[in-house]
Homo-oligomer: A and B are copies of this chain.
Amino acid sequence: MSEKKRGNTSLQQMMESFEEACRSADLKLTHQRLEIYRELATATDHPCAETLHRRLLKHMPTLSLDTVYRTLATFAQHHLVKKVQTVDSQARFEAEMSQHHHVICDSCKEIMDFQWGSFDAFSVPGDIEQWGSITNKNVTIHGTCRKCQATQQEVKQT
């Protein structure tokens, strides 16, 4: 039971369906791809390419940052990972492909997942259905997380 919590899907399962997806998309199963995917799949913080690279360097000292970028782009094209939309300049990524939403702390930039089934079941306003064909709808909540609230409190007291 020492595996990271990842919704209901275990890392093992994710790795297996990842390998399967690569094979059927004719993507070679390189050490780099496997490790980059694994690192992202175990991360819960929606890391940017650089963060991912920094983490991976510990066990793969020759991994290039370019490979991380290139690989993430390839994965995204094949819908194996998602680029997360943010207001910041560095792109951030996630391996969690199932429907979920984000809370973002505007102070520390932490992005957390959450579920909102009753929203998912909601149907969009009528005029939007005219607009075109919709592939997905997501909520982003912005605010300040507890940790940052505490920190800002301390600063005030200084």
Contact = CB atoms under 8 A, between A and B. Distances in A.
Interface in A102-119: 103, 105-106, 112, 114-116, 118-119
Interface stretch (A10-18, A47-55, A85-93): A85-93
A141 to B, nearest CB: 5
A107 to B, nearest CB: 9
Interface stretch (A22-30, A38-46, A143-151): A143-151
A7 B28 CA distance: 51
Contacts of A143: 131-136
A86 B85 contact: yes
A141 B136 contact: yes
A114 B127 contact: yes
Which bracket fits the contact residues of A? 35 or more
Determine which residue in A91, A127, A141, A144 has the highest number of CB atoms from chain B within 10 A of its CB, and name it. A141
A128 to B, nearest CB: 6
Given A89-B89, A133-B149, A141 B119 contact: no
Given A85-B87, A86-B85, A140-B138, A131 B106 contact: no
Contacts of A140: 85, 137-138, 140
Contacts of A132: 103, 105, 143-149
Contacts of A146: 130-132
6 contacts: A89-B91, A114-B125, A116-B125, A134-B141, A137-B141, A138-B141
